[in-house]
Amino acid sequence: MHFINPTRGVMDFDTMFADIVAYIEEMPEENYKLIIGTDSQLADEVCFVTAIIVHRQGKGGRYYYCRERERIGRSLRQRIFYETARSLHLASQLAARLAENGHADLNVEIHCDVGENGRTKDLIREVVGMVVGSGFDARIKPDSYGASKVADKYTK
């Protein structure tokens, strides 16, 4: 799997991880959040985009994304759960590597593409339970900009 940073270009997981750590270590006294969110767009195929955002709180951030396309049709419910599973898988990989590199205290949030308004409102409890049960903080719309803004931008 490869990741794209709009400034630095295409990179593999290890290069992306090293870039995240270097960004944090530029200003270690600041507060950071690691945000992972996935969105999908249904057309002739389903395009899934997962965004990884390192937010230097109050001072900007940096993001990366990866894209996967599928020809398999999925219902909205299946897509939402698959989006969440993609985010959780990547969050688990990153959290494990961060712990190995002395950054276990970094706050990790999963931004879910569900909200009180719209067709996904019936899925909120299950999706949030899935995230919290995995040990991460969950955010839903309108606070889930990692999925609904950043990842969404690259699904089209």
- pLDDT for 3-40, tens place per residue? 999 999 999 999 999 999 999 999 999 999 999 999 99
State residue 125's pLDDT score: 97
Backbone angles phi, psi at 27, to 5 degrees: -140, 70
State residue 13's pLDDT score: 98
Backbone angles phi, psi at 23, to 5 degrees: -65, -45
Note the helical H segments in the chain. 13-26, 76-100, 124-133, 145, 152-153
Domain count, the chain: 1
Tell me how far the alpha carbon of residue 42 is from its chain's centroid.
19
Residue 69 pLDDT class (50, 70, 90 cuts)? very high
Residue pair 91/136 in contact (Cβ under 8 Å)? The answer is yes
Structure tokens at 75: 């219902």
**Can you tell me the mean pLDDT for 35-52?**
95
Backbone angles phi, psi at 58, to 5 degrees: 80, 0
pLDDT above 70: percentage of residues in the chain: 100
Distance CA 143, CA 123 (A): 16
- pLDDT for 99-144, tens place per residue? 999 999 998 999 999 999 999 999 999 999 999 999 999 999 999 9
Q: Which of 120, 131, 155 shows the shortest CA–CA distance to 142?
A: 120
pLDDT at 73 exceeding the cut of 80: no
Residue pair 150/65 in contact (Cβ under 8 Å)? The answer is yes
**Can you tell me the mean pLDDT for 63-70?**
96
Domain extent for 12: 2-153
The average confidence (pLDDT) of the chain is: 95
State residue 15's pLDDT score: 98
pLDDT above 90: percentage of residues in the chain: 94
State residue 103's pLDDT score: 92
Report the relative pairing of strands 2-5 and 46-56 from DSSP bridges.
Answer: unpaired
